[in-house]
Amino acid sequence: MRVFHVNGDQFVELDALPATLPATGYLWVGAARREFEVNVAALQTALQAWTGGTLVDLHVSDLLNNQLPSHFDYTSVYDMLVFRRLAAGTGTAGMFVDDTQGTLASGRSAIEAIDTSPVGFAVFDRVLLTVHPTDCQVRDYFAGRLALQGQPTETRAGPRLPSSPADLMLRMVNHMVDSYLELRRLLTRQFTHLQQELFRPHGNFRNWQLLLESRNALHLLEDTCEDQRSALIEWIDALEEWPQAPDAGTGREREMLRLRSRDVLEHIERVLTHVRRLESSAETAVQMHFSAQSHRTSNIMRTLTVLTAIFLPLNLVTGFFGMNFDALPLIHTATGFWIAAAIMLAVGVGLSIYFWRKNYLGSSH
């Protein structure tokens, strides 16, 4: 568990939970889920001393739930947002598309490696409590980033420090959403490869299980993004209901929170739109594949039907001369065979030319 004090342009990591809230600035307490579970009693005591309130037991259970979808809730003391971040699943290293060969580097789909896990935010007036998965890098990433921003003015890197716990929360959520935005290129390449496999002229597509799992993963990703959008919309609605700011500076800060919230929501909308576009593209590709297969089967049946139509008169001729009668024409002459063969050849060639001119043989252009 890491504790940070953010005060204006200063960002300091504390050794332990302070007994009282600092006179200025705010505290950020970042804990892994297991650390939060072990230290929940100490955190509740500290929150009571700092803010005059504690986390509701139901919210504590939510923060400990690794399967909880993205959602927003609030009390009179704090707001709570749970946001599912994008995590790399097992075996992700071999899941990317090979740029040089144009084929998958692994037999499994890259989208199969997509996994999500919840990050919890409890936003007090001057305290931000974040609960992360054990393998989550968001806390350490922002700790290092804010440490650079909190350096003296001449060496400071990047924008100013977050001015409030809500501002820091939105920056962390925006960072998590950006990982979904970066995922779009990988998903596009994945489905482009599958579509190329589907429409390969002389190929025999067999990766139906891969395609089905990819489509199911897209559906799950769409559900995740919809939950994220709903949670952000509820947060924005709650932000609009906050009491009027007593001074212009606080009012400006509130307006910046609204702008940042709408920006995060717009990013989620972009991811959701892209996922739905991929879903539609996948559905269309499958339908076009079956249409192409049906057209190919129709061409084959047409060719076989034409060949049958060509050979049917020839079979009639050979069947006629094969009858067991003694008085049949041409069977007792030396030229009878050649006359019958010439008739059969003429009928076959004539029918072939006729069907060819009607585009019953070969492809139509």
Neighbours of 265 (CB within 10 A): 19
> Is-contact 254 239, C-beta < 8 A?
yes
What is the C-alpha to C-alpha distance for residues 197 and 269, in angstroms, rounded to an integer?
A: 30
For the chain, the maximum distance between any two Cα atoms, rounded to a whole number of angstroms, is 125
Judge residue 107's burial from the number of C-beta atoms within 10 Å of its C-beta, 0-12 exposed, 13-18 middle, 19 or more buried.
exposed
- Indicate whether 192 pLDDT > 50: yes
Q: How confident is the model at residue 31 (pLDDT cuts 50, 70, 90)?
A: very high
Tokens of 262: 């709408």
The candidate with the shortest Cα–Cα distance to 82, out of 127, 117, 53, is 117
Dihedral, CA atoms, 97, 100, 101, 103, nearest 10 degrees? 10
Tokens of 8: 């204006």
What is the C-alpha to C-alpha distance for residues 12 and 18, in angstroms, rounded to an integer?
A: 13
The candidate with the shortest Cα–Cα distance to 117, out of 46, 191, 33, is 33
Please report the pLDDT score of residue 293 as a whole number. 73
Q: How confident is the model at residue 55 (pLDDT cuts 50, 70, 90)?
A: very high
Q: Which residue type occupies 165?
A: P
294 three-class SS: helix
pLDDT digit string, tens, across residues 97-149: 333 233 333 434 455 556 788 999 999 989 999 999 887 788 888 888 888 76
Q: Are strands 114-123 and 127-132 parallel, antiparallel or unpaired?
A: antiparallel
Q: Which CATH class is domain 302-357?
A: mainly alpha
Tokens of 309: 């139509």
Torsion over CA: 159, 162, 166, 169 (sign): positive
What is the C-alpha to C-alpha distance for residues 191 and 363, in angstroms, rounded to an integer?
A: 30
Eight-class DSSP state of 26: E
What is the C-alpha to C-alpha distance for residues 222 and 244, in angstroms, rounded to an integer?
A: 36
The candidate with the shortest Cα–Cα distance to 271, out of 18, 134, 99, 84, is 84
For the chain, the average pLDDT equals 79
Q: How confident is the model at residue 91 (pLDDT cuts 50, 70, 90)?
A: very low
Q: How confident is the model at residue 45 (pLDDT cuts 50, 70, 90)?
A: very high
Mean pLDDT of 28-50: 92
pTM for the predicted model, two decimal places: 0.71
The residue extents of the domains of the chain are 2-293, 302-357
CATH code that applies to domain 2-293: 3.30.460.20
Tokens of 72: 């927003």
Please report the pLDDT score of residue 105 as a whole number. 37
271 three-class SS: helix
Lowest-pLDDT range of 99-103, 110-114, 235-239, 354-358: 99-103
Q: Residue 71 phi/psi, 5° resolution?
A: -165, 170
Mean pLDDT of 278-297: 77
What is the C-alpha to C-alpha distance for residues 111 and 88, in angstroms, rounded to an integer?
A: 10
- Indicate whether 245 pLDDT > 60: no
Q: How confident is the model at residue 26 (pLDDT cuts 50, 70, 90)?
A: very high
What is the C-alpha to C-alpha distance for residues 71 and 38, in angstroms, rounded to an integer?
A: 24
Lowest-pLDDT range of 47-61, 62-76, 92-106, 162-176: 92-106
Q: Are strands 2-7 and 26-32 parallel, antiparallel or unpaired?
A: antiparallel
Residue-by-residue DSSP string for 274-337: HHHHHHHHHHHHHHHHHHHHHHHHHHHHHHHHHHHHHHHHHHHHHHHHTSS-SS-TTTTSTTHH
The strand ranges marked E within 140-259 are: none
Residue of 78 and 147 predicted with greater confidence: 78
Eight-class DSSP state of 106: S
Residue of 199 and 178 predicted with greater confidence: 178
pLDDT digit string, tens, across residues 290-319: 777 777 788 788 888 888 888 888 888 888
Q: Do domains 2-293 and 302-357 have the same CATH topology?
A: no
Eight-class DSSP state of 135: T
- Indicate whether 354 pLDDT > 90: no
